Structure 1
Amino acid sequence: MVLTTAVIVLTVVVLIDLLLSAAIIRRLRDTEAHLADLMPSAQPGLKTGTPMPDFTSADGSLTRAALAGTPVIFGFFSTGCRYCPTQAEQLAHRAAEIAERGLRVINVVAINDESIPDDITPVLEKSGTVVAEQGMDNLMAAFSVTSTPTFLLYDGRGTLIAKGNHLEETLERWIQ
């Protein structure tokens, strides 16, 4: 009799615990959905589908108007960046394939600290145009780039169609 009563009480306690756990999980999911609506996008910067911003490089050699009608991939790099050399080498390795597909490559190298050697520019020169700038103010600011490496892929109409921190993931959209 005592054992039966203990089993019934234990069953009731377990059922109450399950109901409370389900209510808590439902509440957490609602809160998570509400927070997701309030928080900014997980990926900072320009959104796909937006037009290329108006820009002029610091030396005046590159403008938005000069790229009109040309599909282009921008690669943003910085000296001292841990991941940039690998991505720069991949870009240089695939330069011929990218050119065959009609895509122009523009590389922007931010020189953040004069004491750090610029090992990236010689590699990037194999893949396309290289624009060096001091800090992350001019072109990186115009394109809302907050980290390096970053790749932005624009179609011939100047619309952003892909972006990412890895060359392969960004080029997938163009190669398809």
Structure 2
Amino acid sequence: MEFLVAAVVLLTLLAFLCLLLLLGLTRRLRTHSERIAELEKHRHLRDSGLELTIGEFEVTRSDDGEPLTRTWLVGAESLVAFVAYGCPSCKSQLPALRAYAERGERVLAVVARVPGETPDPAGMHAALGDSVVLAEEPFGGAAQVAFQVAAYPTFYLVDEEGRAVAAGSGVREVLGARQPERTAAGAR
């Protein structure tokens, strides 16, 4: 009988130690998952080994009716935004987009006309101001296809050579993914 009691006590202690070890590992795994998620938010496309090849496209500027093509992206860093009229998340990003453009940065906003939504070009222009180059196209249009847009809002940081170097669903997220030397030097 004493042998059985000792075996039960020993097995109970062993089970308790295993439970403590499991809890410790779970806690550590959660901490690592949070760190990885934070790093992923600011991932630079070039550093990740992922590349987005921007295809050819043509959109029409809303202000003067002039066509814009992929070549507009070459020569200076640009922030390209894909938004939709009826998208609440898109609207929440417009002030940051406008502020970035008003600092003298190059910004192109492509507004998708989604079926069933009421377009409001005047409201969009008022929200973005004159510093943002505004273009409108149908849902699934050429620019959206060229950038492989899958959701709204989507933002791309394009370098001077016309390559997408960062992408995300928020202006600050994308700008936070800049190369360290560009971030340290400040934007222009």
TM-score (norm 2): 0.65
Distance in 2 (alpha carbons) for counterparts of 1:126 and 1:175: 25
Q: How many residues align?
A: 151
Q: Paired residue for 2:110?
A: 108
Structure 1 residue 127: deviation in Å? Answer: 3.4
Deviations 1:111-165 (A, max 9, x none): 1035434243432243311110111332111101111111101111122222111
C-alpha spacing 1:96/1:16, structure 2 compared with 1 (3 Å): closer
Residue 88 of structure 1, aligned match among 94, 98, 113: 94
Q: Does 1:169 align with 2:173?
A: yes
1:15 maps to amino acid: L
Q: Is the 2:84–2:114 Cα contact (8 Å) retained in structure 1?
A: yes
Matches within 5 A, 1:1-176: 2=2, 5-12=4-11, 15=14, 48-49=45-46, 50=51, 52-59=53-60, 61-97=67-103, 99=104, 103-118=105-120, 119-172=123-176, 173=178, 174-176=182-184
| SS class of match (1:91) | helix
Structure 1 residue 13: deviation in Å? Answer: 6.0
Q: Is the 1:57–1:131 Cα contact (8 Å) retained in structure 2?
A: no
2:151 maps to amino acid: S
TM-score (norm 1): 0.68
C-alpha spacing 1:95/1:55, structure 2 compared with 1 (3 Å): same
Q: CA RMSD in A?
A: 3.3
Structure 1 residue 17: deviation in Å? Answer: 8.7
C-alpha spacing 1:7/1:80, structure 2 compared with 1 (3 Å): farther
C-alpha spacing 1:11/1:121, structure 2 compared with 1 (3 Å): farther
Q: Is the 1:109–1:121 Cα contact (8 Å) retained in structure 2?
A: no
C-alpha spacing 1:7/1:121, structure 2 compared with 1 (3 Å): farther
Q: Is the 2:54–2:163 Cα contact (8 Å) retained in structure 1?
A: no
Distance in 2 (alpha carbons) for counterparts of 1:143 and 1:164: 12
Gaps of 5+ in 1: 27-41
Structure 1 residue 80: deviation in Å? Answer: 1.3
Distance in 2 (alpha carbons) for counterparts of 1:94 and 1:73: 9
Q: Is the 1:79–1:113 Cα contact (8 Å) retained in structure 2?
A: no
Q: Is the 1:74–1:108 Cα contact (8 Å) retained in structure 2?
A: yes
